Amino acid sequence: MLSTDEVRDLLAPRVVGKWDEGAGLVLEVVGIEVVLTGRKLTVYLEVVAPDGRWRLRSDRDNSDVNVFNGRPPEELLHWIAWSLRVELFEWWHTKRSERRSAKLGERLDAGPDAGPGKGSGPAPAGGS
């Protein structure tokens, strides 16, 4: 079984970097943390967005835990990276209008529009 650090190292080249949605929107993933609690996999992305730095939580589907089994297939790594990208842009577009989306993001800086429902608060302990 792979460690969380090994899984992070497999995902990082596929996830870390600038993601361009088009129309001038670029979100940059600058860090990734992988947490496994029992059979629950959570991925945290540290993101630089037009309005500041954020930490985004992605609670993964149970099938994604298979990434820890020995040598995960390339298709699984690609799927996880692609779905993280989709979730990141969905969160970006809905964080101000949907409560569930707002709860997934935590603001890491004290930008001008930090506040309730916008992911404000201190960064959690531990890093990427």
Scanning the structure block, which residue is given the tokens 């990276």?
81
Confirm if 33 and 44 have CB atoms less than 8 A apart: yes
Q: Which residues pair with 56 in a beta bridge?
A: 45, 105
Q: Region 112-119: what's the mean pLDDT?
A: 48
**Virtual torsion, Cα 94, 61, 56, 89, nearest 10 deg:** -40
Q: What is the pTM of this model?
A: 0.83
Confirm if 27 and 19 have CB atoms less than 8 A apart: yes
47-76 residue pLDDT tens: 999 999 999 999 998 889 999 998 999 999
Quick count: other Cβ atoms within 10 Å of Cβ 3? 11
More confident residue, 113 or 5: 5
Q: Which helix (H) or strand (E) holds 20?
A: strand 17-22
10-23 residue pLDDT tens: 999 999 999 998 88
Quick count: other Cβ atoms within 10 Å of Cβ 31? 17
Task: Provide the residue count of the chain.
Answer: 128
Amino acid identity of residue 121, one-letter, is G
Confirm if 104 and 91 have CB atoms less than 8 A apart: yes
